[in-house]
C-alpha cells in the first residue's frame, strides 16, 4: 500500500476560512477542524482559525500581537466551526477583536485578539539555548515510533504522531509518546518545521499565515513538560488531557518554513491542571513568540 507523504496542507486547510453571514457580531467565517485520532478536535485548530478570522477583520495594516483564549467545549472532528468577530475597537496604534467559535449552536471557544501598528523602540529578546542539539542530529517522530508499541497507542495515533500533524517534530530530550524518554525534568525543547513549504491561504498574507501557523502548532507539545515531570506519557492508559485556556504574544515577524526551536517549561501542576510556557526561536536566534497554556491533566 502506498502511503501519502506527510504534508503541511493539514495546517493550511485548517486556516482556510469561508465568509458567512454574521448572527451575533460584525463579521463571520466558517472553518473545518482537521482529522485526528482522539475523541475531539485538536485545540490548535481553534486558536489558529480564530487568529485567521481576527486578522481578516483588520484592514489597516496592523499586525496581530497577542491572543487570550478560553476553550469552553470540545469541538467535533471534521465538522464546521462558525467564528463570529466583534470589532471591539480600532485606534490609531492598536485594535482589539473578540472572536467566538460556535458549533452545534453552542459557543465552544472565545478569545480577545490585539493588533498593533508598530513603532520605533528599543529591542530585547530571550536568549537562545546554544547547547540544544540541532534537528539534523535528532530522530524524527516516525523514526522513533517505527516498530514500537505500547499503552493506548493505536496504528492511527502512531501515524498521526509520525506524520499527520503537518510538522516534523524532534524532541530534546526524547519524546513522551510511549514513555518519558530521558530524565523527569520540567523542561524540553522541540525542533519543528512544516513537512513541505506552506501554501498560500485565501484572505491572508504570507506573514499572517505564518502567525496563524505558530498559533496552530504551539498546542501540540506545550503541556509535554508537565507530563514529563509527572512521568506521564501520551499513551498512558486512561490519561485524559484538554486545553483550558491559552495566551500567546507575537513579538516579531519571521518565516515559519524553516526549522524553529520551541523551548518549553512546566510551571505548575496541581488539582488536575498543569501550566506550561513556551518560546519560539528561529535558527538565527530571533525570538518570534511566547506561549502560556493551562490544561487539564487527568491520569487514571
What pLDDT does 105 receive?
Answer: 93
Please report which helix (H) or strand (E) contains residue 66, including its range.
strand 63-71
Residues of the chain with pLDDT under 50: 1-2
What pLDDT does 3 receive?
Answer: 56
pTM, to two decimals: 0.96
- Is residue 14 within 8 Å of 32, Cβ to Cβ? yes
Longest CA span, the chain: 57
What is the three-class DSSP state of 156? Answer: helix
Residue keyed to cell 518545521? 193
Residues 137, 140, 144, 149, Cα dihedral to 10°: 170
What pLDDT does 5 receive?
Answer: 86
Cell numbers linked to 114? 490585539
Separation of alpha carbons 29 and 52, rounded Å: 9
Separation of alpha carbons 103 and 82, rounded Å: 6
What pLDDT does 80 receive?
Answer: 97
Separation of alpha carbons 55 and 50, rounded Å: 9
Amino acid at each position: 500500500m502506498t502511503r501519502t507523504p506527510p504534508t503541511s496542507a493539514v495546517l493550511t486547510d485548517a486556516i482556510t476560512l469561508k465568509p458567512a453571514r454574521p448572527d451575533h457580531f460584525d463579521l463571520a467565517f466558517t472553518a473545518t477542524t482537521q482529522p485526528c485520532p482522539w475523541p475531539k478536535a485538536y485545540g490548535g485548530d481553534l486558536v489558529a482559525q480564530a487568529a485567521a478570522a481576527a486578522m481578516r477583520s483588520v484592514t489597516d495594516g496592523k499586525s496581530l500581537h497577542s491572543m487570550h483564549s478560553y476553550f469552553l467545549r470540545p469541538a467535533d472532528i471534521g465538522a464546521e466551526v462558525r467564528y463570529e468577530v466583534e470589532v471591539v475597537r480600532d485606534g490609531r496604534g492598536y485594535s482589539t477583536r473578540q472572536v467566538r467559535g460556535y458549533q452545534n449552536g453552542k459557543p465552544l471557544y472565545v478569545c480577545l485578539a490585539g493588533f498593533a501598528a508598530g513603532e520605533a523602540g528599543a529591542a530585547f529578546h530571550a536568549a537562545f539555548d546554544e547547547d540544544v542539539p540541532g534537528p539534523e542530529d535528532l530522530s524524527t517522530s516516525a523514526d522513533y515510533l517505527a516498530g514500537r508499541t505500547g499503552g493506548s497507542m493505536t496504528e492511527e495515533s502512531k501515524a498521526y504522531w509520525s506524520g499527520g500533524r503537518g510538522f516534523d517534530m524532534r524532541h530534546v530530550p526524547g519524546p513522551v509518546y510511549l514513555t518519558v524518554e530521558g530524565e523527569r525534568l520540567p523542561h524540553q525543547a522541540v525542533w519543528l518545521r512544516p513537512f513541505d513549504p506552506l501554501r498560500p491561504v485565501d484572505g491572508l498574507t504570507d506573514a499572517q499565515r505564518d502567525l496563524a501557523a505558530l498559533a496552530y502548532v504551539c498546542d501540540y507539545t506545550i503541556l509535554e513538560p508537565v507530563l514529563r515531570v509527572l512521568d506521564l506519557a501520551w499513551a498512558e492508559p486512561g490519561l485524559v488531557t484538554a486545553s483550558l485556556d491559552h495566551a500567546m504574544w507575537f513579538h516579531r515577524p519571521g518565516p515559519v518554513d524553516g526549522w524553529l526551536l520551541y523551548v518549553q517549561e512546566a510551571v505548575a501542576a496541581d488539582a488536575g491542571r498543569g501550566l506550561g510556557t513556551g518560546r519560539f526561536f528561529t535558527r538565527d536566534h530571533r525570538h518570534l513568540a511566547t506561549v502560556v497554556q493551562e490544561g487539564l491533566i487527568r491520569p487514571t
